[in-house]
Every structure is written in C-alpha cells, then in structure tokens.
A and B are shown apart, each in its own frame.
Chain A
C-alpha cells in the first residue's frame, strides 16, 4: 500500500467517487486507478458501512464530512489534501475515528434466532474416593461413615461429570483451652476444658459432620504432654461422639511422629484421618502408623504443587499407602493474607488431577480456621484511622471464615476444618446448594428492579 502514500484528493473527487461507485459497492471500496482501499471488517464488529460514508458526504455539513473522511483515510494510511483544509481544525484522533467507524443504527423487526452452544470439559482421571470412619460392620464404632472425593469434573461443574460426594466439615476441638477470637470463644466457653464435651457440642449443636481433635498440648513449648497421656483425649472424643474423626498433632516436627503414632494405635480400626505427614518431619513413621492401624493419612505441604507431588509419591512408594487412603492439604492462607496463593494452588492441583496427574488426584482438606488469624477477622476495629468503619467483629469474623472457605470449595476442597457455627452452616448449605441437594425457594426475577 505504500505506493499510495502521496495521494491527494479533493472533496469533489470524493463526491464523484461516491456517485460513481454507488452505495452498495462501497462495502469493499475499490477505486480504479492509482488508489485502492480495501475495507476489511475490523475486530469487535466495527466496520465501515456504505451508509456511513454516504451520510457524511451527502449531508450538507461538507466541512465536517471532509474532516471525517480525512480521518478515515488516515486510518488507512493515506494522506489527503483539500482545497479548504486550512479552515478545518486538527482532528482529535481517537474519539473521532471511533465515531467514524461506528456503524449506523439499523433497527431490526425481530430478534435474530440463536442457539447457545458450549463445549464440555473432558477429563481423564477421577479424584480418589476416600472413606472416613468405620462402623461396627467394618471393625469400628462409628455411627456412620463419610465419603469424600470421587469427582470427575471441576468443583460443582455437575454438567461436566459426576460429583458423587458433598464437601464435609470437621469442627476443631483442642485438648486444652487455647486463645480463641472473641467471636468464636463465646460459642465454646462452656466446653473448652473437656475435649469430650467440646466434641459433643460441635456435633449436636453445630451439626459438625466430623470433629478434629488437635493434640496441641503435646508441643514441647506448650505443655509437652507425653504421647501416651495425649492419646487419652482421642479416646475421650471417640466415646463422646460417633462421627468419624480427624486426629491432629501440635505441628511440632520432632514430637508429632511419636504423638500421632500413639494416637493411631489407641484409635485402631476407626479409620480416622491422621493429620498430618509433612516433608519436614518423619513422614515415614507417621505414614506407617496410619497404615498399620487402619487409618487414612493427611499429606500436608505448604503452597507448593511440586512438594505436594513429592510427599504423595513418598507415601505411595515408600510407605505403600493405598491410594484410597490419602487426603492432601496444600495449605490454607486466609483472605487478605495469601488466599490468592491458596486458591490458585488448589485449583491447579485439581485441574492437574483431572487432567491425568495421579500424584495429585486425592481429595483436598483445608484448615479454614486460619481465617481467624487475619486482623480483619478478630480486631475490634481498624488500627488505621483513615479506614472506614469495619463493622462489629462478631459479624465480620464469621464472614471472614466464609470468605476464606467458600472460595476454596470452588477451588476443590472436600474437607473443611472450621470453627464458627455460622460459618459452618453457611458453608454446608452453599456447597449442597451448588450440588443441587437443596430445592430452595423459587423466585421470579423478571421484575427484580422494582421488587428488591
């Protein structure tokens, strides 16, 4: 097109041009001789219509037409000169060209019929299905078993593939009173001194699917409770409630193997979830204990897909843990404190799993309670004087936990460890809704603008 660079046209030429070539043919303007412009439909549905050119020139506003056409030609890399161009102000490039290119309104009589189509996600692998708890018939004392995992589609994408199990919630119980956010504490004040009562309340009043007994008093920096004594709390909880349970250590890498081994032993046959094996500790000993006493194992890594693969591989190859007894915890960071990392890490793990990565195709667990570490969840008000009011923390806290948990459900979490009764209720209700398990109230939204 470079040979057209020095072309000059007069307004009259353009008028002749329009007359000569007629409205219809202008759609792909083709002008004989030394000028050739091809007008291709541009992206985004913007194209030059014959009506547009015509209206500009035929309209009496000659000056404006010149102005517009000059712009138009510039768009196509051509320069123009006009006899009376001196009186024309310099065009403002962006808005004017937009206006020029904007097609004219063409009212239509009827809607153009369209059928909406969308592809299906095709996956190669399904997530392992894990059974938690054992009833009398399979050698335990639980009233029911819980299954998690087994998904053949992204979370709640029920139209793509089967999602056989709903996410479940385990409420946290500690083997000693610990400092809790005020909004949480009020719900457990009467039971914090007794893990059995605590577990009972969690199940009976707050409808926990499971409970987690955290043996945090075993931490050498806390009480250094011996493993044998700590295991009693596990027995207490097993007696107090008949839901499946999770057994957690203190997180101390030196002490946990011993503590979890003992706990696994006293809970033999109950098919608990042992939380957790971690790369920084003797994962082999913990894994072996879980395997030997008939439990599932929680494989916990910190926000790193490759570490998660590595630990799972170790549990599968070295410990020889059966595939249907591994749950993974890729780490939960609270809203505002790394939730973006946790969300994307989990989403990627689930995508990889469904896509065929059998080192990652396990149900996921989330320590959603971490939400309470965020200042916004527990502080009375903002430490920043410039901030708008944060609102009362007894409302803000549980919402913070919901806002941490629910996104992770959408990323693929199957088992939530939580604390606030309201957050638990909302999380359960919403995830069940997304699986079509709750009919709900039918509303007509066609006139919502007036009715809200």
Chain B
C-alpha cells in the first residue's frame, strides 16, 4: 500500500465522526484501513457519490502493492498475492499461498482419482481449524489436446477445487480451457515463444495467466506486454530450479522481484509469484520416495518464506505435507495478535457434577491442545478458559497474564463452582506456583495436574479419585 500514515488517509475521509464504520472517529477508522483490519466499504458515507473522487483516491492509495488475483469460483476460490510488505513484522503477510498438487494426462484414471480425492479430503486439525490443501494442477505430458481434454474432464468431475492448466502448447491449453472455462482456472504458461497465442486464449476465456521466464528482463517484458494488451491478471514464474547454483539463483530472483515491486515501486513486476517445488523431481526421480520428499521440502520451505504466492507440488507423502501446511500457517499468522479463543467455561464430552474442573488459558494453541487431549481420552470434564490475552500457560505465568486475581474472576463470572459439587480445581502443572494463592483466594481445593495435558488421562487414574 502506498500510504504509511493514517493522517494521509484521514484527509480523504468524510471527517464527520458518524461512527457508522464501528469506530469512534474517522481517524481511528483511518488507522484500521492502514493496518488492513477494516475495508473502505465499511464507511457508508464515503460510498455516497458526493465523495466519489475521495473514494477513488483512497481506493488507489489503499490497494495492496502486489496485485491480488482470484482463481476458481465459489467457496473454494483462492486469493493469491495481495501482499504489502517484505518482512512479516512490518504488517503481516496476507494470503497464504495455495498448495496445488499435480495430476497428468498420462496417469491412469485410477491414479488421477486417488490423487484428486486425497487432495479433496486432506485435513489436519490445528488451532481450532482444519488445515487443508487447495488446488489441482493438471499437467499435459502427452502434448495431445484430446488427451488433455479427457483428463480435464475427469478432474472437473472429481473436484470443486480451483484448477491450474499446465502446458506450453496453446492448442493443448485451448482444449482444456474449453472444458473448464466456467471455473476460472489459472493458465500456465505464456513464455517467450508462445505468448501471442496464449494471449489470444486469455482474451477469449478471460482467465488469469502465468508468465514464465527465468530471465527477469524477459519476464518484465512479458508482463509489460500483457498489461499493454489489456490483461493484468498475471502471475509470474521466475523459474524454480532444484539444486546447486541454479537453486541459489531461484532464491535470488524471488527476492529481487518482490523487493523491486514493494520497495522500488516497480509496477511491471507487482504480481503474485508462483513457485514449483514439483520441479525437484527432475533430479530426484531415481532416488527413493523419502529423498524425493526431502528435495521437494527444501524448495517448499524457501518458497513459503520468500514470496511464493502459489506453490505446485508433485509429492503427496503425508509426512511431507504435514510440516509444509504448518509452516505456511505460522508464517502467514498475523504477528500483531496471538491466535486466541474466547474465555469461558466449556463442557468437554458429557460432564456431570462429579466431573473434574480443569483450568487453562485462551491461547488457541493451548486451548485446542488441551481440548483434544481431553476429548480423545474421553475425559468428561469442565474446562475453564482464562483470558490471558492469548498467551499460553507457561509464558503467561512468566509474564503475569495468568494470576490468582484472573482465576478468581473467571470462576466468579462463569459461576464455575455451581456446576460441580466437589469444589476442586485442577491447575496445569506449569502453573503450579499459583496453587497456594489460588486456594486462598478462591476457597477451592486446588490440585496441580501434569505439565503436559497429554498426560491428564494417566494423572486422573493416579490422582483424581484419591485427591479430590
């Protein structure tokens, strides 16, 4: 975004402090626009035609540095790009790079079905949500439009996920596009040789397109040319290379492109970047499956961290997907606020008045870890979640957000004492040092549980009945 200070934004807002946007003042709203926690259309007044000029000015000022592109349709559509900063602490990174997994037009029907279904159904629980996979990339290995068409048809029936059509042959792309044009696929790719024909297709089908060249002058030329021709829904591929000096060059190109776009304001390259970790198979084909997964993982890590806005994979080994989806989530988490859950009193399973009452904090990672430990071990219980501003147990005991005053308040506001008759509260092991004072303040009997909630089941056997 071109502006840094709320004042610059404020100058164009109506200045009436009418509070319609949910903020006390226009100035407060301006700072929310700057940190992208609110959007311009939340100010009803500025939508009035009297403010047309201001609206347009603001819209331009507030648009992200890197163009945001939508691929696919409906619920499953993905946003790529839309980034504003080079380092996440400067604001946050916005759109997690979608993960696309490949199928080819020479795979058997069975293999295609298995792979697509795997991607469709994959999920991993993490801080309150399921992490999932996002797209299917269809590669034409046959170079035969008919075969490609068949493959696209199959995939289209198997999934609602957004699709990338991959071939350097415009006839092949055309065949695929005809089948799937309504689903707003991404076309991969125009290069130095085929760009005119691909441009015609993009005009015909009105879909976003990838431009490919590891030579950044040529990539800039391609981008400039497409924009000039009236197409600006572009994704850039500066080439992913699997190893050695070439990989070093890949790292350098991704960083230079993003720096040029964001720091130097180079509009020619202010587009999302696509990374292709799948390319690692060019050198690891003969190696065992694990070695292949490792090669692809290295490219994945580098491209998640350094500006890949969309990634294409070949390997679907679950042990390789697991860390990749967590890294993506962690890097794209908003560093300005810990991921937190609501405080309160929650039932785990079907507790009754004899069930234990556990205490924890409202850091999402803590809460969901404890919840899943209780539920998967069938421990019917009450979980009292204290608001520690989203800080976990150990860090909030150290930093003071979890203290006896807060615990007492939480017990009172939730009326936790009324749901149980044993008057016993179980603290996390890592909050042991608060136990004495908590007993004094709350008048409850306090037991100290294990340090890891994963061991609560065992602890229950040894301590609950005897100590409560």
Contacts and interface: CB of A to CB of B under 8 A. Distances in A.
Given A434-B248, A449-B167, A451-B282, A399 B320 contact: yes
B238 to A, nearest CB: 10
A449 B141 contact: yes
B319 A391 contact: yes
A426 B298 contact: yes
B294 interface: yes
A403 B318 CA distance: 15
A449 B168 contact: yes
**Interface-central residue, A351, A375, A395, A451, by most chain B CB under 10 Å:** A395
Contacts of B305: 407, 410
B108 interface: no
Nearest to A427: B298
A111 to B, nearest CB: 5
B247 A386 contact: no
Contacts of B52: 1, 76-77
B230 A106 contact: yes
B379 interface: no
Given A388-B122, A392-B319, A344 B88 contact: yes
Given A384-B125, A410-B305, A449-B140, A157 B67 contact: no
Which of the four size classes fits the interface of chain B? 35 or more
B241 A375 contact: no
Contact of B330 (A5, A336, A386, A450): A336
A447 B143 CA distance: 11
B339 to A, nearest CB: 9
Given A42-B60, A340-B330, A443-B246, A105 B229 contact: yes
B69 to A, nearest CB: 11
Contact of A347 (B89, B124, B143): B89
A350 to B, nearest CB: 10
Interface in B170-227: 188, 191-192, 195-196, 199-200, 203, 206, 214, 216-225, 227
Interface stretch (B9-17, B25-33, B262-270, B403-411): B262-270
A395 B319 contact: yes
A441 B295 CA distance: 13
Contact of A449 (B166, B195, B231): B166
Interface string A368-393: 00000001100000111111111111
Interface in A404-438: 406-407, 410, 422, 426, 430, 433-436, 438
Contacts of B217: 114-116
Contact of A450 (B141, B239, B259): B141
Interface string A22-46: 0000000000000000000011111
Nearest to B320: A399
Nearest to A379: B454
B126 A386 contact: no
Nearest to B326: A336
A302 B283 CA distance: 41
A270 B221 CA distance: 57
A452 B322 contact: no
B293 interface: yes
Contacts of B53: 1
B244 interface: yes
B167 A105 contact: no
A107 interface: yes
Interface in A300-354: 302, 335-341, 343-344, 347-348, 351
Contacts of A83: none
A433 B264 contact: no
Contacts of B318: 388-391
Interface string B277-293: 01101110000001001
B219 A116 contact: yes
B255 interface: yes
A13 interface: no
Main secondary structure of the interface of B (DSSP, over half): helix
A395 B276 contact: no
Contacts of A447: 168
A447 B301 CA distance: 24
Given A107-B196, A336-B126, A452 B282 contact: yes
A76 B221 CA distance: 33
A436 B248 contact: yes
Nearest to B301: A406
A267 B247 CA distance: 41
Nearest to B256: A118
B139 interface: yes
A335 B143 contact: no
B283 A441 contact: yes
Contact of B243 (A44, A395, A441, A451): A441
B356 interface: no
A107 B168 contact: no
A113 interface: yes
Which of the four size classes fits the interface of chain A? 35 or more
Nearest to A411: B305
A285 interface: no
A386 B123 contact: yes
A387 B125 contact: yes
A79 B245 CA distance: 61
Contacts of B232: 44-46
A44 B259 CA distance: 19
Contacts of A118: 256-257, 259-260, 264, 266
B125 A107 contact: no
A221 interface: no
B230 A439 contact: no
A112 B199 CA distance: 14
B63 interface: yes
B266 A403 contact: no
B49 interface: yes
Contact of B246 (A42, A116, A442): A442
A156 B251 contact: yes
Contacts of B227: 45
Contact of B297 (A158, A383, A402, A440): A402
Interface string A45-78: 1100000000000000000000000000000110
A392 B318 CA distance: 8
A207 interface: no
Nearest to A393: B319
A343 B59 contact: no
Contacts of A399: 293-294, 297, 319-320, 322-323
B241 A77 contact: no
Contacts of B225: 108, 111-112
A438 B298 CA distance: 15
A14 to B, nearest CB: 20
Nearest to B89: A344
Contacts of B219: 116
A343 B301 CA distance: 13
B327 A339 contact: yes
Interface string A91-109: 0000000000011111110
Given A43-B60, A445-B214, A450-B140, A390 B322 contact: yes
Contacts of B317: 391, 395
Closest 7 CB pairs of A and B: A440-B244, A391-B319, A391-B318, A103-B230, A77-B49, A105-B203, A116-B216
Given A116-B217, A410-B306, A449-B167, 13 more contacts: A105-B200, A111-B192, A116-B260, A118-B256, A156-B251, A347-B88, A390-B322, A402-B323, A403-B301, A433-B248, A442-B246, A445-B214, A452-B314
Interface of A: 1-2, 5, 42-46, 76-77, 102-108, 111-119, 156-159, 302, 335-341, 343-344, 347-348, 351, 375-376, 382-393, 395-396, 399-400, 402-403, 406-407, 410, 422, 426, 430, 433-436, 438-443, 445-452
13 contacts: A102-B230, A108-B225, A119-B264, A158-B252, A340-B333, A351-B87, A382-B125, A384-B125, A386-B130, A407-B305, A426-B298, A433-B243, A443-B242
